[in-house]
Amino acid sequence: MSAGKRLRAVGALLIAAFALAWVGSACGASGAAAPGLYAQAYSLLPESARTLLKYTGDCIAFAPSPSCADVYFALPHTTYRQRERIIKRKAAASGWRLTRTVSGPGGLQLFYRRANDTATVALFVDLETCGSRVRTCREEIQVVRH
């Protein structure tokens, strides 16, 4: 076999190996990470929080799957400012470091870091006028493993 044919064969094998590794991670081959990601998200919430929806996904290219978890939640019988204080207290007690806050007329985003993970918490000022669709009108935590 000539050197050119060997080089093409090795290149094809490398491409195939890369493709298999990528497909394996994209299909959730390492799905054992999901409970850990959910635990990270729940470490930001008090026990009184009610989970409305949760799922995992692939937020970081080439990272083991899943690399992020989203938890939509409700804290019944609390005001916007109470929810903000509750989350900040729980986050601090769980070892999360607040890195940035972005606020606007509709709500607030809190950005946290702990070890190799980041978390974003979205809080709405007025949940009544927001609507009832969970993914667009409910408070959320997203944890991403880096």
| Cα 6 to Cα 1: distance, rounded to the nearest angstrom | 7
**Contact predicate 30/56, CB 8 Å:** no
> Can you give the residue ranges of every domain in the chain?
31-145
The token pair that represents 134 in the structure block: 């969970």
Query: For every one of its 146 residues, what pLDDT tens digit does the chain have, with 9 covering 90 and above?
Result: 665 554 343 333 323 333 323 333 444 445 688 999 999 999 999 999 999 999 999 999 988 999 999 999 999 999 999 999 999 999 999 999 999 999 999 899 999 999 999 999 999 988 777 766 766 778 999 999 98
| Cα 101 to Cα 97: distance, rounded to the nearest angstrom | 12
Respond yes or no on whether the N-terminal peptide bond of residue 66 is cis (omega within 30° of 0).
Answer: yes
CB-based contacts of 132: which residues, under 8 Å, 6+ apart?
A: none
DSSP letters, 73-99, are: EE-TT--HHHHHHHHHHHHHHTT-EEE
**Contact predicate 67/59, CB 8 Å:** yes
Angstrom CA distances, 37 to 86, 93, 94, 116, stand at 21, 18, 14, 11
